[in-house]
Amino acid sequence: MAKKDAPPRWDRRMQQRLARGEAAALGELYDRFASLVHGLAHRVLGDERAADGVTREVFAHVWEHPDSYDPRQGPLRSWVAALTHRLAVQRLRATESAALALGGSGSTEELEDKVRHASVAARADYIVQSMPTPLRAALELAYFQRRDYRQTAADLGVTEDEARRRLRLGLQLLSTAHDAVAPGAPPGRYGGAA
Amino acid sequence: MLKALLGAWALAACSAEETAAVEDHLGDCGACADEARRLREAVGLLQRPDSLDLDPALRTRVLESCLDRRPPRIPVPGWAMSYDAETARLDALLQDFGDAEWHAPVQLRWFRGADATSRRTTVAGVIAHLLAVDGLVAVALGLDDPLGPVTGGTAGKPVGSPAERTEAFWDASRFPPTRSVRGPWRDQTHALVRTASFTGGGTSLASEAERGGGPGTMPVSYGDFELPLRDALVDRAFECWVHAVDIAEAVDYPYEPPAPRHLHAMVDLAARMLPGALAERRRAGLTSPGEPRHLVTAGRPGRSLRLEIEGLGGGEWLIPLDSPAAVGSADHEVAHVALDDVEFCRLAAGHVSPEEAAAGQVGDSTAISDVLSAAAALSRM
């Protein structure tokens, strides 16, 4: 459902309903965010069951601590994405460290490298999903459909200038996925792209 | 302006001449070279989404583990859970549908009297149908009637039967329904579960308290009959599943049966509605000729058929044959029918005829035929 621009009123109301202990609100929260949460967790962990586990943790956290979300800090969607990112990276680091401790191959640097890589990939996914549809559509055509920018312009019914602008802007947004992912750093901004 | 071309260049989406011109410029301009590097790196981050279908069972597992950790103050009543689960499953099926899927033809099938009937629509038309009929429950709960804008909004007076409502909804637009029907349908399903939760706990709606009924006993009108809210939501869950299967078949997707306890609730509702459906058929003169009619006093045991439903959603029911007011009785058992749970639901949905239903049968064949026909007669558009 194209509800990415749901008003903050929905976020505030959802928080109140969760705080009040309304199980139906938890179901609605799941219905709105489960594919986002599971998708991000899967991108970080590359494993279905691990992604299921993170999904469970994320919703349990929101249900048990609805007050930890502050609507003034931004949309619930971004907050849920950042929480997912943090828990997924935590789990990845824990599993990888455990494997390392058990005498697995690799070094701590390789571990941090893997974590950083997964982290950037997940943030990139989120940025693409959250960017304005016209930008995403242009990138989709130029990259996945291998259309050049003139064909992209024609497909989208916009000028060639506009197609060039969208491709550049889309990539500029996407490039911010590299920012603020020093090891151990907080997951950084989520939702800035939208 | 070569700078404006950097995005297209990074994606290899310019002409050969433009590419050469950009690369020429990058040798001279540090600012553009920096951006070019950044954008090229960004291209490396573009990935096809994993588009994994979320396992519908994950929803139940996640919600249950949450509710174990912190018990809800306002739970979703048990009788609303099959509706909650089935609407979530259907919504997940619709998730990745493109226009081709939304406009795929679907044949709605049911029994009218003893005759198989069908009506042609599309996937979007089926969702419009669910939206229109779920609206009966919405109206009973004091929510907006989705047909309100269509029929000029006669408050508190919903338009008749499920079929009439559906036709009215379809007719109200000059164009066939599109994917845009998904949002209103899903919003209404959420509103129904939310509102039912407030009637299901200790807090009854005022109108229920007035009637002296418990939670979920408020009547929902289907035009020519009524169901208490708790049964109406199981009925709507059943319809949601039945039509999800219609949709899945139309677009060639797999679709699993409901979770056992939800399937059981649906089978149980159909079994409880059978005595009424038998009486209806008698009134319409559709029962088998020459059947001996046994008068039974209300509340007394009467001739019964043992309905044995196999499978995880199954169980056993004694169906009183001669009057809905009679009580099913093992001592007066005249026939025994055994069916698989999903097969019984297909029969009650009008998707398989009484003659074709795979049923094991022992005893009075007239009674068996009447009960199977009555099950098919439970189906409607």
CATH classification at residue B169:
1.20.120.450
Our measurement of the distance from residue B274's CA atom to the centroid of its chain's CA atoms, rounded to an integer in Å, reads 21
Q: Beta-carbon neighbour count of residue B320 at 10 Å?
A: 23
Contact list in A for residue B93 (CB cut-off 8 A) is none
Same structural domain for residues B224 and B272? no
Contact list in A for residue B84 (CB cut-off 8 A) is 24, 27
Q: Could you list the residue range(s) of the whole structural domain that residue B280 is in?
A: 261-289+297-377
Q: Does residue B311 form part of some domain?
A: yes
Q: Concatenate the DSSP letters of all residues of A10-46 into one string.
A: HHHHHHHHHHTTBHHHHHHHHHHHHHHHHHHHHHHH-
pLDDT value, residue A189: 55
DSSP element (H, E) containing B67:
helix B56-69
DSSP element (H, E) containing A114:
helix A108-130
pLDDT value, residue A85: 94
Same structural domain for residues B113 and B204? yes
Q: ∠ CA(B156), CA(B159), CA(B164), 5° rounding?
A: 165
Contact list in A for residue B191 (CB cut-off 8 A) is none
Last residue of a domain, one of B191, B219, B250: B250
Contact list in A for residue B74 (CB cut-off 8 A) is 20-24
pLDDT value, residue A186: 44
Q: Does residue B94 form part of some domain?
A: yes
Same structural domain for residues B105 and B223? yes
Q: Where are the domains of chain A?
A: 8-127
Q: Does residue B105 form part of some domain?
A: yes
Same structural domain for residues B314 and B182? no
Shortest alpha-carbon distance between residue B3 and chain A (Å)? 9
Same structural domain for residues B195 and B105? yes
The ipTM, to two decimals, is 0.86
CB B341 within 8 A of CB B358: no
Same structural domain for residues B131 and B191? yes
Shortest alpha-carbon distance between residue A184 and chain B (Å)? 21
What is the mean pLDDT of each successive set of 10 residues along chain A, which is 194 residues long? 62 96 97 94 93 97 95 92 95 89 81 89 90 94 93 95 95 88 48 42
Same structural domain for residues B87 and B216? yes
Q: How many domains does chain B have?
A: 3
Q: Does residue B53 form part of some domain?
A: no
For B98, residues 6+ apart whose C-beta sits below 8 A from its C-beta are: none
- What is the average pLDDT score of chain A? 88
Q: Quick one: which of B50, B53, B48 has its CA closest to B97?
A: B53
Q: Does residue B155 form part of some domain?
A: yes
Residue A102 touches partner B, C-beta closer than 8 Å:
no
Same structural domain for residues B315 and B201? no
Residue A137 touches partner B, C-beta closer than 8 Å:
no
Tokens of B198: 């407030």
The CATH architecture assigned to A8-127 reads: Orthogonal Bundle (1.10)
Q: Does residue B29 form part of some domain?
A: yes
pLDDT value, residue A31: 96
Same structural domain for residues B155 and B20? no
CB contact (8 A) between residue A21 and residue B74:
yes
Question: Which regions of chain B are under pLDDT 70?
Answer: 49-52, 149-159, 200-213, 288-295
pLDDT value, residue B238: 98
Shortest alpha-carbon distance between residue A15 and chain B (Å)? 14
Same structural domain for residues B98 and B34? no
Same structural domain for residues B185 and B85? yes
Same structural domain for residues B101 and B236? yes
Q: Does residue B66 form part of some domain?
A: no
Q: Does residue B255 form part of some domain?
A: no
Last residue of a domain, one of B190, B225, B250: B250
Contact list in B for residue A39 (CB cut-off 8 A) is 49-50, 52
CB contact (8 A) between residue B39 and residue A121:
no
Residue A64 touches partner B, C-beta closer than 8 Å:
yes
